[in-house]
A = this chain, B = another copy of it.
Amino acid sequence: MGNVPDNRPSPHFELKCRVDSTMLRPLREFVSNVARTLGFSEKQVGEIEICVDEACANAIEHAYPKTFEREFANGGRDLCIEVQYKNDELVVRVRDYGCGASEEMKSRLRDLNDYLASDQERYRGLGLYLMHKFMDRVTVQSSPGQGTTVEMTKVRK
């Protein structure tokens, strides 16, 4: 668009919640519904939906191990989803306040062949691979004990 000002609204959302995994559906569908409203194609909407779901599921499953449990009544987990849209880019930030992730996770972009070679009751480790596959940019910020923020950007096409 160059110097032409963009007169379309730049919506912004900040959703703080305490939830368990039953609420993954309303969370992922909220963000994908925002993307749909912004004119993303149904294919892109589906890709955004699964990436948001994976990031939120990770926050719920991995960020709060047993030692944190006591702080959260009734199995709820604190997380925050931020959504911003500007210049055809949807930025989604999923933040938790948990144990933080290792250096390994940050650089983790598991090869699909590793995944396929593993033999498990339920294969795991596809979440970050998937985010990198479906989003245009993914960054993970985390330090042990400080919680984790996954920032994902999708360009509308």
A102: interface (CB < 8 Å)? no
Min CB distance A25 to B, Å, is 6
Chain A interface residue count, CB cutoff 8 Å, equals 29
- Specify which chain B residues have a CB less than 8 angstroms from the CB of A73 in the assembled complex: 10
Interface membership of A13, Cβ < 8 A: yes
A39: nearest chain-B partner, CB-CB: B22
CB atoms of B26 and A17 under 8 A apart = no
Would you give the 0/1 interface string for A17-34, flagging 1 where the beta carbon is closer than 8 Å to chain B? 111101101100110011
Report yes or no: A25 in contact with B19, Cβ–Cβ below 8 A. Answer: no
Contacts of A23 in B (CB 8 A): 11, 34, 37
Could you say which of B6, B7, B36, B76 contacts A12, with CB atoms under 8 Å apart? B76
